[in-house]
Structure 1
């Protein structure tokens, strides 16, 4: 059995695929992952013994710039990624393929290659916010914006589909024509299918009634991390009360200016030390104080269990890791699904949704005061006990079942 997994996106898109790949390999399947060739992602897949087949440009080359990508950049990147998927996935799948699973930034092209081969295709997502719904409006997408006074969700989601067609439609249908397939109308719904998989914890991200589609919720795909913390970090942790962790992951161009200094000063206001996760945002020490420790790539599962509060951007993976560790959270949402995770953490009472993407010393001091309340810690620990850890195993079983079914 040979399975092709593909994604183009940040660490939060690639690490779940590594978790799924590990589960598939444990069940005897051969796995290939087609993903952006960032060094971090190659190393991540090396940990589970799965090769990375390069797909498109590195993500860091797109997002790790002084300014966020523009709409014009998006209209260049979208068709380029579609063409890369047709070319790369067709070449990989030509060597034998029993199923294709795609995730990440609108993976247009993956379903079409699977269709040509006559093998099952699955679209997986890590939250519900991108799926058509009667309960919330679509997120921002490059292209013609909806009128500011439009409030009808059905109309707004129709306009979202039109923006997807403008970004991806021509490239998808060129690729389909090259494969001898008829054109498709409505790229977004074609990519999503009626039954996407939702790789998110049901307590953190309930799906019942939230979307017009019928998602299969597997639970989050969590890659176990047994790496020991570096000796110098362990010494820092052992040298006092649990610190406040601050990190913004892959949010290089979006991380608020001066956030490291604001976070350090806010933590000091509460007598707390700080661990700064440098990440792609390049957070670093703000002075020579011995109450601040900077880390790069590290086992967050272990580190968060030793943190008083986790301050982060609200990516699905970081939110789930912190929740599983029982650590109170302060979420500073910047883009995409992050406002959802911020609001969800607040609703569950396991942390604080920071008001807006530009924290100050005062705003972070207030947020930390709330997050450090013993009642929040107690609720965070209670929720941690409910977070499922078998999501990748569930998904692996479902995918292999699909792949093993007789084909027309």
Structure 2
């Protein structure tokens, strides 16, 4: 069977597809991944022998450009056009298209599958895009939720209107290029009748919502066997476990100040520091030997050897730290990150920082909570409950549900 796995986003959007691709290939599947053409994504996939079909501009370059909210419809049009071009070619003759990532990109990939008559599966790596009466939707840039409105059903109706306003015209144009009619409900089209939720049920329990048959597979994780760099191993072995500080793909305003605050706060607790450059290019040059600057490293191997992980709250980083049993301080920057911060605090495995910009006092306090013996013990306990078979389960479902299906004729 042939599978096309499509996304557009940061490492947190690409890495789960790497795991699924490997599990599908183990079962005899032929896999292509459509994702941004960033060099680190290409190298990661090439190292596992999985072909990458580049889609759209560099995700890192787009993130660092920090475009204005008013340009969101224009960016959506480019993303959808990129999906139409790349996925159409990659998906010819395939059996399944798995669509995830930013909503307009997923909408484009799903439209290609519809045009080709190929089965499609819509996947999300966080449940906040799935309507639920238990919580409000995320607010889109330039489309804030009205203050004072607390009825979640009303807010979800407004969210559907906002999605249509932001992405409806762009999707209609992309679908017209495929010979398809526009859709009335963009969000509903992307979610479909049976979306998949690729998150851990302990860290991110799905409580159900009317009208949505959600399949929660568990997080799509792959054992990372890459060794840690020798200089990092030497640093780890030279003293007590350090605190890791990194904000992944977040650009971070005033990155130099954030680095200075973070390092000072960690030092105030008598700990050494691992500072990750990330997409914010964090750095600190003060000549002291109690910190080490690191680039892209194996988080699975590293997080089990640190005293705590200070991070932005991306789904992938949160899951990896939780699985490693490392206490966390989540400093959420945007989108779903406040949700993951709340989950970490709610489970008692770390602290949720209030707001995206830490001060010495605020981060010191959060670290005090995370470095407590109680939090450490709780983090180790929860780690034993995190599932590791999510990608295996997803591959099994894809193969089982696809075998024996009669292909649909292209529209």
Gaps of 5+ in 2: none
Of the candidates 80, 84, 96, which is equivalent to residue 82 of structure 1? 80
| SS in structure 1 of the partner of residue 203 of structure 2 | coil
Partner of 1:338 in structure 2? 337
Give me the TM-score of the superposition, normalised by structure 1: 0.96
161-170 or 207-216, which moves further after superposition?
A: 207-216
Partner of 2:244 in structure 1? 245
- 1:145 Cα deviation after fit: 3.6
123-132 or 6-15, which moves further after superposition?
A: 123-132
Contact 2:208 2:214 in 1 (8 A): no
CA–CA distance in structure 2, aligned partners of residues 208 and 346 of structure 1: 19
| SS in structure 1 of the partner of residue 100 of structure 2 | strand
Q: Does 1:262 align with 2:261?
A: yes
- 1:173 Cα deviation after fit: 2.3
Contact 1:254 1:334 in 2 (8 A): no
Of the candidates 97, 100, 115, which is equivalent to residue 100 of structure 1? 97
| SS in structure 1 of the partner of residue 128 of structure 2 | coil
Contact 1:123 1:193 in 2 (8 A): yes
- 1:131 Cα deviation after fit: 1.2
Contact 2:139 2:145 in 1 (8 A): no
Q: Does 1:33 align with 2:33?
A: yes
- 1:86 Cα deviation after fit: 1.4
Q: Report the count of equivalent residues.
A: 405
Q: Deviations over 1:72-93 (max 9, x none)?
A: 2212110111111112111112
- 1:403 Cα deviation after fit: 2.7
CA–CA distance in structure 1, aligned partners of residues 143 and 312 of structure 2: 27
| Structure 1 runs of 4+ with >6 Å offset | none
- 1:127 Cα deviation after fit: 1.2
| SS in structure 2 of the partner of residue 8 of structure 1 | coil
Cα pair distance change 1:11/1:117, threshold 3 Å: same
Give me the TM-score of the superposition, normalised by structure 2: 0.95
CA–CA distance in structure 2, aligned partners of residues 210 and 368 of structure 1: 36
CA–CA distance in structure 2, aligned partners of residues 219 and 53 of structure 1: 26
Contact 1:260 1:286 in 2 (8 A): no
CA–CA distance in structure 1, aligned partners of residues 222 and 129 of structure 2: 24
Partner of 1:114 in structure 2? 113
- 1:355 Cα deviation after fit: 1.4
CA–CA distance in structure 2, aligned partners of residues 25 and 70 of structure 1: 40
285-294 or 165-174, which moves further after superposition?
A: 165-174
Partner of 2:295 in structure 1? 296
Contact 2:256 2:282 in 1 (8 A): no
- 1:176 Cα deviation after fit: 2.7
4-13 or 204-213, which moves further after superposition?
A: 204-213
Cα pair distance change 1:42/1:356, threshold 3 Å: same
CA–CA distance in structure 2, aligned partners of residues 272 and 361 of structure 1: 15
Q: Deviations over 1:154-196 (max 9, x none)?
A: 2211121122112221232233333333332101110111211
CA–CA distance in structure 2, aligned partners of residues 210 and 168 of structure 1: 24
Partner of 2:215 in structure 1? 216
- 1:47 Cα deviation after fit: 2.4
CA–CA distance in structure 1, aligned partners of residues 308 and 129 of structure 2: 28
251-260 or 133-142, which moves further after superposition?
A: 251-260
| SS in structure 1 of the partner of residue 274 of structure 2 | strand
| SS in structure 2 of the partner of residue 388 of structure 1 | coil
Q: Deviations over 1:255-286 (max 9, x none)?
A: 76612111111111111000011111111124
| SS in structure 1 of the partner of residue 33 of structure 2 | strand
| SS in structure 2 of the partner of residue 104 of structure 1 | coil
Partner of 1:70 in structure 2? 68
| SS in structure 1 of the partner of residue 127 of structure 2 | coil
